Amino acid sequence: MAEEATRVVRSFCRICTAQCGILAEVQGERVVRVVGDREHPLSRGYTCPKGRALPRLHHHPERLEKFFLRREGGWTAVSAEACLDDLAEKLRRIVERHGPAAVGIYFGSGLGMDAAGYPLCERLRSTLGTPAKFSPLTIDGTAKALVAGLMGGFPGLSGRPDYEEARLVIYAGINPVVSHGHAVALPLPPSKTIQAVARRGAVWVLDPRVTETARFATGHLRLRPGSDYAVFAYLVRALLAEGADSPDLARGQREALAQAVAPYDRRRAAAVAGVPEADLAALLADVRRAGRLAVETGTGVTMAESANVTQWLAWALMAVTDSLNRPGGYWFHPGLLRPLDQGELPILPPEALFGPGPPSRPELPGFLGEWPGAALADEIEAGNIRAFLNLGGNLLTAFPDATALEPALRKLEVLATLEILPNATTRLSTHLLPTWDQLERPDLSCWDMLSPKVCAQYTPAVVRPVGERRAAWWILAELIRRLGGELPPGLPADDRAPGAAEEALARLAGVQPTALAELRARGYVEAPRILPAPWVERHLARLGGWRLAPAQLVAQLEALRVREAGGPPPLALIPRRQQRHVNAQLTFLGDRPEVLIHPRDAAARGIADGAPVEVRSPRGAVRALARVDDGIRPGVVSVPHGFEAANVNHLTDDALADAVTGMARYSGLAVEVVPHP
């Protein structure tokens, strides 16, 4: 048989926000290899094992290729139309009988990088008229939007270090060498970026574990989970006492901030964080030396009880060192395809961030038009949510308290899932709708603000869609149409018609035609980053300066301070990410759910390295292998999420959500670990 010619398609990876440039080698419709694109301005040849596994993802032996309906007795493969007819009919009946809030909807990570599909999720939600919208926001990092909203008047301000000039970066609860960044990606490769800062000055890591990132740092605080706020409070207090100030601070608020952090002298901060006072002194000395600095926080911060307070004090530290919107400090992404820097940003009053929350959990707010993921099981159990649209997520591994969520999901009349592979959540679904994966669709950077640079990318489809998979935009449009909603003008009726995918991208991605044409021609466009950015300065002038002491956060700090007397739990669970899977995806590449435990804690429990253990919480148990690791702080165990057979969310508790934002608590929970023969 003659060998088929290999063609190379230039594309970009959409597994994480780093969006590395890739070259896909294709024979016929088989993707044989993905390698890094050396000419790519963003990643210059860099890729990670996940990106290189795109061919395995696409050719996965169990990939979903058909529409399925679950009827009594099992699954039936049906046509796309029959599946959509049935689904729309059931949704219509449920809304008629119980109102729109009876349909919940999850904007999952799987659709989060589909530039044509994603915008229709919101249109589907508004067609249904349901307030029961969920997204990664409340299971990932509400603290960032909250603090941007409260201190900066606009929750969409998204910042990152000025890696060109920074002389001090503090990484708190983030491990970019593995994750490539929390939401916002780091310039690649992460280790080189971090080393460059270290050469200019200093890099500190705040993490209960010696992480892959800590190895490149000049200083590391192996602090107690959830104690970061005390470290930042100490730094802010010390600098304010020395007279630190900036013309950009809202008037009268410096005093309120000073008062809030007053209790955190070095001794108290060291006691709360469980670190030597000398290490805090060394960090403060580096802060003084650098003058300006940037703090990068990640899920270790946003998933802790102290999330909002830590994020606030990290910003406060940048504000009082005059680092916000300054070279060598922190810059705010202006966006490129959907720019923020063209007009005036709205200035939102604090109340505008919140809305009515889920009725079954009156203590929880709605936040930025969404409901907390921690309320999903209760909303179903209360009979409020009866149908659920899962748009590219694995609910059971993503949401807290799988012990409560799994039986709840089984009670749903409808659980419809848009997916590319079977998983724990598809197994509970009533409707399965297979969509184009990232190699099967033309695409654009969906979230240009999360890029490390002011840039945007375009990729053509690499191969033709397999089986009966349909475009996510087509599936969503067909549902919207069946539910009586309005569709954007000019949207192709058939995703399989020639040119339809490109046309849909143009109609849906919200990008100016000229910009789109340029992107298609060049694949990658970049704009210069200007620092200080005039649009931020204009915004700040109208805002009256950074608001240093938002009342909600001052109150949360006070509450934390009162609880400090109770001390930490004997053994606390913390999350971590691993190199070769992203959340619940790509677990077939071989990462294992190892429980990292300190030798002291292991010995006290008779646990040997590599031995099977059971991690227990009041909510449930997870079995995995122990890795005895002297890099982790004593009293802390680290368990990665995303594994179905060892689902760490059987340990988490959906009652533990942040009172201000509803964010789920995934870090700092009390657990016990026992040998499990």
Ligand X SMILES: Nc1nc2c(c(=O)[nH]1)N[C@H]1C(S)=C(S)[C@@H](COP(=O)(O)OP(=O)(O)OC[C@H]3O[C@@H](n4cnc5c(=O)[nH]c(N)nc54)[C@H](O)[C@@H]3O)O[C@H]1N2
Report yes or no: 44 and 38 within 8 Å, Cβ to Cβ.
yes
Selected binder of ligand SF4 within 50, 292, 431, 547 (CB under 6 A) = 50
Of the pair 54, 637, the CB lying nearest ligand SF4 is at: 54
> CA-CA distance, 407 to 119, in Å (whole number)?
31
CB of 140 to Mo ion, least distance (A): 4
- At residue 675, the 3 state secondary structure works out as strand
By CB under 6 A, the residues from 117 to 156 that bind ligand X are 136, 139-140
Token pair belonging to 240? 């304010």
CA 608 to chain CA mean position, Å: 34
Is 145 a binding residue for Mo ion by CB under 5 A? The answer is no
Q: Which does 13 bind (CB under 5 to 8 A by kind): ligand X, ligand SF4, Mo ion, none?
A: ligand SF4
* Residue for token pair 């938002």: 550
Q: How many residues bind ligand SF4 (CB under 6 A)?
A: 11
CB of 38 to ligand SF4, least distance (A): 14
Is 292 a binding residue for ligand SF4 by CB under 6 A? The answer is no
> CA-CA distance, 628 to 638, in Å (whole number)?
11
Q: Which residue is nearest to Mo ion (CB)?
A: 140
Report yes or no: 89 and 445 within 8 Å, Cβ to Cβ.
no
Is 18 a binding residue for ligand SF4 by CB under 6 A? The answer is yes
By CB under 6 A, the residues from 257 to 316 that bind ligand X are 298-301, 304
For residue 344, the 8-state DSSP code is P
Selected binder of Mo ion within 37, 86, 114, 140 (CB under 5 A) = 140
CB of 50 to ligand SF4, least distance (A): 4
Report yes or no: 55 and 33 within 8 Å, Cβ to Cβ.
yes
Of the pair 228, 658, the CB lying nearest ligand X is at: 228
CB of 73 to ligand X, least distance (A): 25
By CB under 5 A, the residues from 297 to 336 that bind Mo ion are none
Of the pair 182, 469, the CB lying nearest Mo ion is at: 182
Amino acid at 573: L
Buried b (16+ CB within 10 A) or exposed e, 629-644: bebbbebbbbbbbbbb
Is 642 a binding residue for ligand SF4 by CB under 6 A? The answer is no
In 3D space, the residue among 665, 576, 113 whose CA is nearest the CA of residue 372 turns out to be: 665
By CB under 6 A, the residues from 398 to 457 that bind ligand X are 398, 418-421, 423, 435, 437-438
> CA-CA distance, 149 to 145, in Å (whole number)?
6
Query: Interface with ligand SF4 by CB under 6 A: which range of 13-21, 76-84, 98-106, 265-273?
Result: 13-21
Selected binder of ligand X within 292, 641, 650, 665 (CB under 6 A) = 641
CB of 109 to ligand SF4, least distance (A): 12
In 3D space, the residue among 256, 207, 203 whose CA is nearest the CA of residue 227 turns out to be: 207
CB of 230 to ligand X, least distance (A): 11
Is 180 a binding residue for ligand SF4 by CB under 6 A? The answer is yes
In 3D space, the residue among 311, 297, 233, 216 whose CA is nearest the CA of residue 270 turns out to be: 233
Is 40 a binding residue for ligand X by CB under 6 A? The answer is no
Is 48 a binding residue for ligand SF4 by CB under 6 A? The answer is yes
Cα atoms in the Cβ-side hemisphere of radius 13 Å centred on 159:
36
CB of 13 to ligand SF4, least distance (A): 3
Q: Which does 20 bind (CB under 5 to 8 A by kind): ligand SF4, ligand X, Mo ion, none?
A: ligand SF4
Is 576 a binding residue for ligand X by CB under 6 A? The answer is yes
Q: Which does 418 bind (CB under 5 to 8 A by kind): ligand X, Mo ion, ligand SF4, none?
A: ligand X
> CA-CA distance, 168 to 199, in Å (whole number)?
10
Is 15 a binding residue for ligand SF4 by CB under 6 A? The answer is yes
Q: Cα dist. 606→387, 595, 601, 630, 677 in Å?
A: 46, 15, 9, 16, 12
Is 574 a binding residue for ligand X by CB under 6 A? The answer is yes
Selected binder of ligand X within 193, 321, 394, 552 (CB under 6 A) = 394
Of the pair 13, 249, the CB lying nearest ligand SF4 is at: 13
In 3D space, the residue among 667, 638, 641 whose CA is nearest the CA of residue 209 turns out to be: 638
Which ranges in 141-252 belong to alpha helices (H)?
Answer: 142-152, 176-179, 190-200, 228-241
CB of 180 to ligand X, least distance (A): 6
Token pair belonging to 270? 């060291």
Of the pair 23, 613, the CB lying nearest ligand SF4 is at: 23
Element (H, E) at 501: helix 500-508
Report yes or no: 341 and 451 within 8 Å, Cβ to Cβ.
no
Report yes or no: 628 and 608 within 8 Å, Cβ to Cβ.
yes
For helices 500-508 and 472-482, the axis angle rounded to 10 degrees is 70
Selected binder of ligand X within 209, 361, 469, 633 (CB under 6 A) = 209
Report yes or no: 477 and 116 within 8 Å, Cβ to Cβ.
no
Q: Which residue is nearest to ligand SF4 (CB)?
A: 51
Token pair belonging to 370? 């969404």
Question: Rounded to a whole number, what is the largest CA-CA distance in the chain?
Answer: 79
Q: Which does 131 bind (CB under 5 to 8 A by kind): Mo ion, ligand X, ligand SF4, none?
A: none
CB of 136 to Mo ion, least distance (A): 5
Query: Interface with ligand X by CB under 6 A: which range of 390-398, 445-453, 525-533, 601-609?
Result: 390-398
Give φ, ψ of 487 to 5 degrees: -110, 155
> CA-CA distance, 218 to 641, in Å (whole number)?
29
* Residues at the site binding ligand X, with contacts judged by CB under 6 A: 16, 108-111, 114, 136, 139-140, 172-176, 178-180, 182-183, 206-209, 211, 225-226, 228, 298-301, 304, 392-394, 397-398, 418-421, 423, 435, 437-438, 472, 574-579, 581-585, 638, 641-642, 648-649, 652, 666-668
* Residues at the site binding ligand SF4, with contacts judged by CB under 6 A: 13, 15-16, 18-20, 47-48, 50-51, 180
* Residues at the site binding Mo ion, with contacts judged by CB under 5 A: 140
